[in-house]
């Protein structure tokens, strides 16, 4: 019985020394991985004379850098904003002119609304993995 305990103690000592030697070995550094570049999306919408936007539904991936070009086809100035992104998108577009802005679409969801002069007129979808069934 004493011999078994002696062998067990010796085995534990050898295992401890091996682990200690492994811990002191220099580690090879894994190459740094760069984050994939953010998707870039150009979105062009037209604000019609009746205040509606074309297309009435725009979808971009979450995290995309969105460059928005809004053309006012009407004869009066229009205010364009996006619910949920009001802090990033609030344009004034003169009649017959275009306005351009860039913003990051990092707030995923399906219920963002284009607002023309304060009236809802279309949807903006920021698609992310949470929108895939089973990924809540």
HEC readout, the chain: CHHHHHHHHHHHHHHHHHHHHHHHCCCCCCCCCCCCCCCEEEEEEEECCCCCEECCEEEEECCEEEEEEEEECCCCCEEEEECCCCCCCEEEECCCCEEEEEEEECCCEEEEEEEECCEEEEEEEEECHHHCCCCC
Please give the pLDDT value at position 66: 96
% of residues, the chain, pLDDT over 90: 60
Q: Which tens digits make up the pLDDT trace of 78-106?
A: 999 999 998 889 999 999 999 999 999 99
For the cut 70, the answer to whether the pLDDT of residue 52 exceeds it is yes
Average pLDDT on 54-66 reads 95
For the cut 50, the answer to whether the pLDDT of residue 113 exceeds it is yes
Query: What's the whole-number average pLDDT of the chain?
Result: 83
User: What homologous superfamily is domain 40-131 in, according to CATH?
Assistant: Cupredoxins -  blue copper proteins (2.60.40.420)
For the cut 80, the answer to whether the pLDDT of residue 28 exceeds it is no
Domain ranges of the chain: 40-131
Please give the pLDDT value at position 136: 42
Comparing CA positions, the residue from 80, 84, 91 lying closest to residue 121 is 80
pLDDT band at 39, cuts 50/70/90?
A: confident
Average pLDDT on 19-45 reads 69
Please give the pLDDT value at position 131: 45
Tally the C-alpha atoms within 13 A of residue 123's C-alpha that lie toward its C-beta: 9
Please give the pLDDT value at position 133: 45
């Amino acid at each position: 019985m004493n011999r078994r305990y002696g062998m067990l103690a010796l085995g534990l000592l050898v295992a401890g020394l091996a682990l200690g030697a492994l811990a002191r070995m220099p580690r090879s550094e894994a190459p740094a991985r760069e984050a994939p570049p953010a998707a870039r999306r150009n979105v062009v919408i037209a604000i019609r004379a009746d205040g509606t936007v074309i297309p009435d539904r725009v979808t971009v991936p979450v995290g995309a850098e969105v460059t928005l070009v809004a053309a006012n086809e009407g004869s009066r100035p229009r205010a364009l904003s996006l619910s949920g992104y009001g802090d990033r998108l609030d344009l004034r577009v003169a009649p017959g002119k275009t306005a351009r802005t860039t913003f990051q679409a990092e707030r995923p969801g399906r219920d963002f609304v284009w607002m023309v002069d304060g009236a809802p007129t279309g949807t903006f979808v920021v698609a992310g993995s949470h929108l895939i069934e089973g990924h809540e």
